[in-house]
Each structure stands twice: as C-alpha cells, then as structure tokens.
Amino acid sequence: MFGFLRKRRQAQLRAQPFPDTWAAELIRRAPYYARLPEEQRRALQGHMHVFLEEKRFEGCGGLAVTDTMRLVIAAYACVLNLGYGDDAACYPGLHSILVYPDAFQVNPREHEELGVVVEDADGFEGESWDVGAVILSWRDVQRDMQAFNGRNIVFHEFAHQIYHHGGLIWESRAAARQWADVFMRHYERHCVEVERRKPLLFDEYGAENPSEFFSIVTEAFFERPAAFLRHYPEFYEEMRRAYRQHPASYFRPEEFGGKV
C-alpha cells in the first residue's frame, strides 16, 4: 500500500510543470542536459521533480548548497532513471546528498565511522554507501561535466546506489540471468585487460570489484555510448535493456568536441 501511494505521489510530481528559470539554468550549467534532445529533457524534468522533493541536500566543509548545485546534481542523477518513466524507483535507499566544496576537504575518517567505504584516499571525489547518502565534491562534479571523456562522478555514485539498492528491473528471470552472465564475463575480461595494462574503453578502477565495474561502465554508457556500442555491442545491448535507454541513438558528444 505504501509503495502504491509513493508511486502515485511520484507520478503527480512528474506531471508538474518545470519552471523556465530551472530549464534555462540547466542549459547554462549542466552540459549533459544541454545536449539532450527535447524528449529526453522533458522526461528528465519529471524525474527531477521527484528527486528534488524526496532527497535532502546538505552542504559540508563550509559549503552553502545553492539552487544551481541542487538542479545540476539532480539532473545528472536522474539521467540514469530516464528510461523507466513512472516505473522509476528514484533511489529508494537514498535520503541525503552531502556536498563538499572540494575533494581534499572531505574527512574520510568522519564518514568511515558511519560505514563509508573510501573509494580513493588520495583523490577523494565522491562516494556512495549503504546508509542512504551520497557524498560529492562540487569541484569534481563541475570538472567532470565539461569533459565528456567517460568519467562522471555523479553517474558513478548514483550507479552505486542502483547496484546496491536494486534500481533496475528485467522483464523476466531469464533476462536477468542473461544480464548477469554478460556483465560478469565483461568484468572478468576487463580485469585481464587491466592486468595486461591494455584496457580499451573502461577506466582501470573498474577492476576493483563488480560494484565499481558497474559504476565505471555506467559512466561510459552515458558519456561515450557510440564507442561503447562499437567496442562491446553485446554488452551495450544488455546495458540498453537494463537501463531501458539507447543513448547511442540520441547522445552524440563528438558533435560538441567530446571523444567518440
């Protein structure tokens, strides 16, 4: 019953009009949004209403979270939901987004006590853990937005949320099994390629464990879909089914100077 009410409430939120000022700000400040076709933008706006209503943003390390930060982070987080329409769960396990001004200001020890897994103690960019929060460095969010190089810390952290809280739905058990087979085969292949120091498209960090691999391939799927499709057509097809999206058909960063 609770799930039904939440779903109905979310559908109402998605149907709300999107303020023109928000759309204009996203065009200026969120390069990925600016490159989406109209249809995807509209769907994204609906998911953003849900996200902004349900999630709490908290500034850390002296940062005051602005409306622009909220809009930009929500937009990138919701790209992962785009294919699901009213079936999008919108990160049910997530309550808060903690935003730091810069990576070096995050105090990993403070968060470790809460059960945080530190991704990279030297260059701390963002993280996602099982107690319902995502931590991001605003500087790194901004840096990644400009590059279109297959690295995006917001996609990365929210993919962890999906991986750990089950944000994807398959049409049958057989389809889910097939996904798991193809995913693990590519994970193992990636580990071998990293070992031989010749990873093709995915960042080496994906060899850490399957959860990191899922985040890394999610970043590539949304930022460099054409290259993903070209190099790993079978895996791309499974990602397309899992996310119910076909970004290679509409997202062409190379037209804007990004890598193919």
Interface residues with Zn ion (CB under 5 A) are 119, 212, 215
Query: What DSSP letter does each residue of the chain carry, written as one string?
Result: -HHHHHHHHHHHHHTSPPPHHHHHHHHHH-HHHHTS-HHHHHHHHHHHHHHHHHPEEEE-TTPPPPHHHHHHHHHHHHHTTGGGGGG----TT--EEEEESSGGG--HHHHHTTTPPPS-SSS--EEEETTTEEEEEHHHHHHHHHH-SS--HHHHHHHHHHHHHT----SSHHHHHHHHHHHHHHHHHHHHHHHTT---SS-GGGGS-HHHHHHHHHHHHHHSHHHHHHH-HHHHHHHHHHHT--GGGT--GGGGT---
In terms of CB distance, is 152 or 215 closer to Zn ion?
A: 215
In terms of CB distance, is 164 or 244 closer to Zn ion?
A: 164
In terms of CB distance, is 33 or 187 closer to Zn ion?
A: 187
In terms of CB distance, is 119 or 144 closer to Zn ion?
A: 119
In terms of CB distance, is 18 or 205 closer to Zn ion?
A: 205
CB of 127 to Zn ion, least distance (A): 7
CB 170 within 8 A of CB 242: yes
CB of 136 to Zn ion, least distance (A): 12
In terms of CB distance, is 184 or 260 closer to Zn ion?
A: 184
CB of 101 to Zn ion, least distance (A): 21
CB of 232 to Zn ion, least distance (A): 20
CB of 77 to Zn ion, least distance (A): 15
CB of 160 to Zn ion, least distance (A): 6
